[in-house]
Structure 1
Amino acid sequence: MKQFFSILFLFIFCFGYSQKKTLQTKKLTSENITIDGNFDEEIWKTTPEATDFIMFQPDNGKVIPENKKTIIKVLYDNDAIYIAAKMFDNEPDKILREISQRDDFGTSDLFGAFINGFNDGQQDFQFYVNAADGQADCITTDANGEDYSWDAVWKSKALTTDFGWTVEMRIPYAAIRFSGENKQTWGLNFFREIRRDRQKFTWNFIDSKIGTFTQQAGILEGIENIKPPTRLFLMPYSSFYINANSQQKTIGTLKGGLDIKYGINDAFTLDAILIPDFGQTKYDDQILNLGPFEQQFNENRSFFTEGTDLFSKGNLLYSRRIGGKPINRPQITNDETITDNPVSVNLINALKISGRTKGGLGIGILNAVTEKTYATIENKITNETRKQELQPLSNYNVLVLDQRFRKNSSVSFINTNVSRNGSFRDANVSALAWDLNTKKNTYNLSGDFKYSYINDLEDKHGIATTFNFAETSGNYRYSFGGDLVTKEYDNNDLGINFETNYYSIYGNANYRILNPTKYFNSFKLSTNLYTQFHKETGKLQSNSININVNLDTKKNHYVGFGVNLNPQETYDFYEARTAEDYLIFPKNYNAWVYISTNYNYRFALDFNPSYAIFNETKRRTYEFSLGPRYRFNDKFSMNYNFEFQRRNNNKGYIDSIDDDLNTATPDAIIFANRNVVTYGNTLSGKYSISSKMNFNLAVRQYWSFAENQNYLSLQKNGRLTDYINYTNNKDSSFYSWNFDLSYSWWFAPGSQVSILYRNNAANFERNINKDFDKNVTSLLNNDALSHAFSISVKYFIDYNSLKSKS
């Protein structure tokens, strides 16, 4: 009890002090700045400098050598801030400068400017330029890391010189957020990476003993009485698609769309899709899913990925629900067949409003509407067709209120709501989340409380809560916490959640070096414990011990290895696909190794083998991935990755037998003793003509099959016994092919031409053909193989440029 009050005292009364550098900026009056990397305007000569960079990694706290000194200057006007950076290098011919596409650093030296317009230590807008003149940008928070899906419109130029290299940047106020005060004080830091040495430096010292990055920025002063212009941007786009396969004629389609971005004020922005077009969105990497839960896919639509930090609070939003599968499946009689069964729902429009007040209150609103969706069903006898409604007109809404305080803590309220027209299911989920840190960022208290309400044929209510305490500084760190999720908790209408009806406790302890040693640049040893119990019965659902080591060698090769121990039988309440039955899962042990050689070399290799043994006869799992990569020159590189997994004598659900369809419990739950084998091949490559003009290749071939050896029946005690009367073929074989070849040209800031050719196919069968070559060949010659060619043009229009021309 005494220790608890000591920790509480730290949260309430702990105060600290850290030295912050300050940089003064100057205002442009009449002189114009040309973004060319030369700094030949007269005003640059009298602008204050930011110097004396300090190493962040690997030798934290070491002063940058004089022959690598870095000098930064900042100017501003009513439209933007301007940054000039000189990076000295005593061996300029060794500066790495691989050309890459936007948001890809490549193997290049790097410069970055990190801006926090509220100086609250919680969110940075980061802008990077590499030595090959490529751009990257992201939003960064300590809680969620770096989000590179966010893209801003700004200008930059990098030049190589006889003393090193230079960068000049123009970052408009529309790309950042700040208060409306006449006198601004911003958080600011600068970053430099010398890639050949893998050394990272910052202007204001980032102490790695403290578990935070964004809260250790310096200060930018001098911005006063600015009058930013109206922030209104229009992004019209037009796309032409040609689609063809063996089952239909070649079809050409012309589409158009419009996105709008409007600055409500200096801190809040409205983003809207008036006419959606996601035709060039990346394909999903589908797998053979034998488990009880759906496959979770990445979000590839830019509107739902850009600047969504606020909407990730509470982990309640899985945006693939918007425009995903219809909530109902077609219901037909024996005389009917389905002629059109939509796999997704069309989006009508969407908008989001986000920003933060001067007092630190972040407000986020996301709204989307999807259209009514039907299946077409045909009567095989009369040939008459009918429509069946699978999903009504639906509205999706997210509200987030996030109050920051003391520059490193926040409390958030989140609400998600799905309203479907008519008598369909509606859902509402609310959450209170907190992330509290001591003044010195040495301890963290985080957690949330969530409540779900489902309005359906039968209403249900549920709760989920989590609590975590952690020491976040020093060589030795630890954390512990717990979760509770009730049986009726359900956030799957707009979020994603797999397991319910459990409680758990967990802990972590780790040791790391903060500065290089004789053998390692970095080293971390971690131990993790996790135990989960079924809430209603108290049965053990999980009990794992994980020990792992991660390190960087002095030659910048990365090595990781570890073991996972599950020393007790556990109870799986999900695999049986019923509410009451469970499967006893055996004791098992797993070991893994990961090796990644230094990407600075032209040839590099990733290798990741693992092996698992189970306390069952001949039940084993082994897998590995092998990924060579080669950089031919600064323009051209190729990456290949091969993955293989084999699960011998795996036990899994395949069917339920129910002689009386009116009963809730099946007469028999059938499992299979099976071998599951998976092959995956991916090939990616890029050829960059310049940092603004790139060719990209992405190829993926996937094949996985589950071959059943014999059949088993699940008993009420969770054990499996032989079942000899089952004769259905429940073998599974799924293979897929994706091929994307694209050309991208950023012909102006924010404006892009994209040309894409792709073909893809997928097939599921019950009969397994183990001839790998024939499988791939038959897939490529399959009637389902489709071809698509598209050209898309997006143009960025600044309202102020139109206004000045009128």
Structure 2
Amino acid sequence: MKNQFLFCFLLLSFVGLSQKKVLQTKFISEKIEIDGKLDETIWQSAAVASDFITFEPDNGKPIPENRKTEVKVLYDNDAIYIGALLNDENPEKILKEITQRDNFGTSDVFGVFINGFNDGQQDFQFFVNAADGQADCITTDTNGEDYSWDAVWKSKAVITDKGWVVEMRIPYAALRFSAENKQTWGLNFFREIRRDRFKYTWNFIDSKLGTFTQQTGILEGIENIKPPTRLFLLPYSSFYVNGNATQKTYGTLKGGLDLKYGINDAFTLDMILIPDFGQTKFDDQILNLGPFEQQFNENRPFFTEGTDLFSKGNLVYSRRIGGNPSKYPTAQTNEEIIDNPASVNLINAFKISGRTKNGLGVGILNAVTEKTTAIIRNNKTLETRTEVVEPLTNYSVLVLDQRFRKNSSVSFVNTNVTRNGNFRDGNVTALVWDLNTKKNTYNLAGDFKYSYINSIEAKKGINSQLNFSETSGKFRYGIGADIMTRDFDNNDLGINFETNYYSIYGNSSYRILNPTKYFNSFSARINAFSQFQKETGKIQASSINFQINSNTKKNHYFGIGFNANPVETFDYYEPRATNRFVIRPTRIGGFIYISTNYNNPFAVDFNPSYNAFDEAGRNTYGFSIGPRYRFSDKLSLNYNFSFSRQNNNKGYIDSINEDLNAATPNTIIFANRNVITYSNTLSGKYALNSQMTFNIALRHYWSYAENKNALSLEQNGRLADYSGYTTNKNSSFYSWNADLSYTWWFAPGSQVSVLYRNNAGAFERNINKEFTSNVTSLLTNEALNHIFSISVRYFIDYNEVKNKF
């Protein structure tokens, strides 16, 4: 009898956890003041969402009674209102660091997740921390959280003697939902108690399943509301002062407009007219000794916000738009290039994105860049001429993404770059699929891509991949393969480094789903990968990696990893010549990382690594260390120093064509070299409140490659001494970037930003190993650029303006 009772209890508990909770809301006509007090009488009669359940670390365990959480929802014709009572047994211990928008900091957090179509595909998430800061994002299971998306909404958080209170007003213009009279929305609430890093949700989120957005509860009771006209204007004006020791420019005034318009309840048009990206974050440039370009992060808001659809198939590298010119100018004898623009100006851009109630997502992106010319001077006659390095160019992306069964999708993607005149055009088309079983236990994903390049000689290529994985439970695994032909090329609007190969790979992992005596979380994973040159079958890459990640009961993070290249490989890219390769030796190495609890005022990250090669005297080692200190809820500083050294590294430095009739160079020169890199970064903030913040970001980088002796690449891929090469091909690159900024959100969606920036960089063949003098020369260099700018952006909501009049 006792066993039967226990079985029934567990069964009912499981059913209770797996069912979707339902919350009823009610219409209001009285005004609610967003002050964090919940003292309007209408709140007293609203239905309560309670009985929160632990999401992490002890998944499925009910929230303790002394942390009881109650949430209520009301609505009117314009917005939805959320009131939350967050009890805490120790209100004085609530963490409440003040941070910038979209940064939780070391603070308790409350969030609401809303899916207006209740299709389990995409959540609009709104967070408030205990310091009264806001964060918002769009979340999908495929792409995770996208915090570049920003909405305009109101909130207030207040600490009380029983815990804290949150009050929110989210206008319908910040959401997406259908025009039906009776609404049924997906809904969940989230709470994190930061001091012990426990996370709770209203509707149970089962961590054994590989999905988050499909495990929401239900909001019912909203009736007879209409999707509002979603028309937002963001006019801006910027003033810049640029200068250095040799040239000064004053009084540069810019202005423009961003526009966001809801075409219907599902689709949105975003436009930028006369764009201004002068205050975007600087790029972390490095000494690039490899055969491929450096890939940079996208920091321009237009190209980072709402990119879920455009990331399908990984075909869009938006830094191509307004990036480097596609052609380098040609200088004849006695000519000199005196002005070659490093980037192309963007004229305008727009994107349309959204999803129908039947699950069809449509994304359209279009951008136009201006004609760009270089100036070349004849040193004899002093006459100048211009040469087009990038013509008027149109970039376009089309995505059709059909979702079905709430957890799977098939997508069609096309990217096209058309350049005016006799310049190269590029087109890539892809079919992408992401298929999950009904219970989200297995996944089959892959794609097929076809590229066509219209240039002097047309090129066609394909790239395809397929992988299968188990996505639930403690033990998980995955296997896959891909293939890419030699002429596949998506680099006009995408980025791709390696071609002409096929590869196979697999992985297996284990994780705990509930805390143990020593760990809140623990996982172990092993990966194996092999890549082969398509024509010859020679192995281009082979690696085995094993890694353990853990979070202790005191919320310190610890990890260790081992990696190996168990066989010699044939590198077809480093020689930078067709059908030539260099043989790479076997390697074994490992790393450790330690990250102490960020809740403590002082915390530190430490990450040493070491690799040994099967080659005399060849190894690499390095470390990074990052102490951070939170002086108060307003002031914090983070510092990071990293160092790496590669001893007896072998890399390409030059090619010599001794036979003038040969189509490719017949002597390829490598260097046996030591490569040393230092990097220092400092970031910090002082927050006056959740709307006003002073920020600092500094970075000094220095890396040099000192060649010890020259080597020639033999036809068999081996390297031999080459004594006849005397050209200095040492490399030394150092750079400095500093940003000091002040931001003030003076009205909803409206911001004043004041920025002072200075930066400098230099590349040299002669290496000065005096670290201090290198830094000093960089900061006193005549090329040190100074920029002071003020930018004002004002958010205009058509609905607010309409209501006022």
> What TM-score does the superposition give when structure 2 sets the normalisation length?
0.97
Q: Does 1:777 align with 2:772?
A: no
Quote the residue 2:602 is aligned against: 603
Q: Does 1:186 align with 2:185?
A: yes
Distance 1:215 1:444 in 2: 16
Contact 1:550/1:561 (8 A) holds in 2: yes
Q: Equivalents in 2 of 1:182, 1:468: separation in Å? A: 43
1:661 to 1:388, Cα distance in 2 relative to 1, 3 A:
farther
144-153 or 552-561, which deviates more = 144-153
* AA of the residue aligned to 1:673: N
Instruction: Map Cα deviations across residues 179-203 of structure 1 (whole Å, 9 max, x no partner).
Output: 2222221111110000011100001
* Pair 1:126-2:125 in alignment: yes
Alignment of 1:274-353 (within 5 A): 274-353=273-352
What is the Cα deviation at residue 412 of structure 1?
A: 0.6
One-letter code of the match for 2:365?
L
Partner of 2:430: 431
1:75-154 aligned within 5 A = 75-154=74-153
The 8 Å contact of residues 21 and 219 in structure 1, kept in 2 or not, is answered as yes
Q: Within 5 Å, give how 1:723-734 maps onto structure 2.
A: 723-734=722-733
Deviations 1:195-241 (A, max 9, x none): 01110000111111111111111111112221233111110000000
Q: Which amino acid is the alignment partner of residue 791 of structure 1?
A: I
Q: Spell out the pairing of 1:516-531 with structure 2 (5 A cutoff).
A: 516-531=515-530
The Cα RMSD (Å) is 1.2
- Deviation string, structure 1 residues 488-541 (Cα, Å, up to 9, x no partner): 110000000111111111111111111111111111011111111111100011
**1:729 to 1:36, Cα distance in 2 relative to 1, 3 A:** same
Q: Which secondary structure state, in structure 2, belongs to the residue aligned with residue 312 of structure 1?
A: helix
Contact 1:744 1:755 in 2 (8 A): yes
List gaps (5 residues or longer) in structure 2. Answer: 1-14
Distance 1:60 1:718 in 2: 54
* Alignment-derived partner of residue 240 in structure 1: 239
Contact 2:102 2:147 in 1 (8 A): yes
Match of 1:565 in 2: 564
- The whole-number CA distance in structure 1 between the counterparts of 2:666 and 2:177 is 64
In structure 2, give the amino acid aligned to 1:493. D
SS in 1 for 2:131: coil
Cα separation, 2, equivalents of 1:174 and 1:489: 43
Matches within 5 A, 1:499-578: 499-578=498-577
- List, as ranges, runs of 4+ consecutive aligned residues in structure 1 with deviation greater than 6 Å: none
Q: Provide the rounded CA distance (Å) in 2 between the counterparts of 1:178 and 1:315.
A: 28
Give the structure 2 partner of residue 377 of structure 1: 376
Work out the number of aligned pairs and report it: 791
8 Å CA contact 2:28, 2:74 repeated in 1: no
Q: The residue matched to 2:31 in structure 1 has which SS? A: coil
Partners of 1:18 and 1:573 in 2: CA distance: 54
Deviation sequence 1:398-442 (CA, Å, 0-9, x none):
001111111111111111000111111111101111111111111
1:249, 1:453 → 2: CA distance?
Answer: 45
Q: Is the 8 A contact 1:240 1:255 kept in 2?
A: yes
Which whole-Å deviations, capped at 9, do the CAs of 1:636-674 have from their partners, x for residues lacking one? Answer: 000000000000000000000013455321020000000
Q: Report deviation, 1:328.
A: 0.2
Runs (5+) with no aligned partner, structure 1: 1-15
Cα distance between partner residues in 1 of 2:78 and 2:374? 52
In 1, Cα distance between equivalents of 2:659 and 2:683: 53
Where do residues 573-652 of structure 1 align in structure 2 (5 Å cutoff)? Answer: 573-652=572-651
Write the letter of the residue equivalent to 1:629: R
Alignment of 1:600-749 (within 5 A): 600-749=599-748
Alignment partners' CA distance in 2, 1:661 and 1:303: 49
**CA positional deviation for 1:802:** 2.5
Tell me if the contact between 1:430 and 1:452 (Cα under 8 Å) persists in the aligned partners.
yes
Give the letter aligned to residue 598 of structure 1: N
Q: Secondary structure at the match of 2:195?
A: helix
Q: Please report how far the alpha carbon of residue 800 of structure 1 lies from its aligned counterpart in structure 2 after TM superposition.
A: 2.2
The answer for the alignment partner of 2:43 in structure 1 is: 44
Cross-structure match for 2:464: 465
Mapping 1:160-179, distance limit 5 Å: 160-179=159-178
Preserved CA contact (<8 Å) 1:23 1:49: no
Paired with 2:702 and 2:45, the residues of 1 have a C-alpha distance of 64
Task: State the shift of 1:173 in Å.
Answer: 1.8
Matched, 1:414 2:416: no
SS for the counterpart of 2:535 is coil
Cα distance in 2 between the residues matched to 1:392 and 1:455: 15
Q: 1:24/1:695 Cα in 2 relative to 1: closer, same or farther (>3 Å)?
A: same
Partner of 2:756: 757
Structure 1 residue 579: deviation in Å? 1.6
Cα displacement string for residues 285-328 of structure 1 (whole angstroms, at most 9, x for unaligned residues): 10000000000000000000011111001100000000000000
Q: Does structure 1 conserve the Cα–Cα contact (< 8 Å) formed by 2:20 and 2:215? A: no
Are the equivalent residues in 2 in contact too, given 1:22–1:221 (CA < 8 A)? Answer: no
Q: Which moved more, 1:715-724 or 1:220-229?
A: 220-229
Alpha-carbon distance in structure 2 between the residues aligned to 1:63 and 1:25: 22
Contact kept in structure 1, 2:568 and 2:584, CA below 8 Å: yes
The 8 Å contact of residues 28 and 42 in structure 2, kept in 1 or not, is answered as: no
Calculate percent identity across the aligned residue pairs: 73
> Which amino acid is the alignment partner of residue 650 of structure 2?
K
Deviates more, 1:178-187 or 1:607-616: 178-187
Partner-residue secondary structure (3-state), 1:48: coil
Q: Secondary structure at the match of 1:196?
A: coil
Contact 2:178 2:227 survives alignment (8 Å):
no
User: Is the 2:17–2:204 contact (alpha carbons within 8 Å) kept by the matching residues of 1?
Assistant: no
- Partner amino acid, structure 2, of 1:213: F
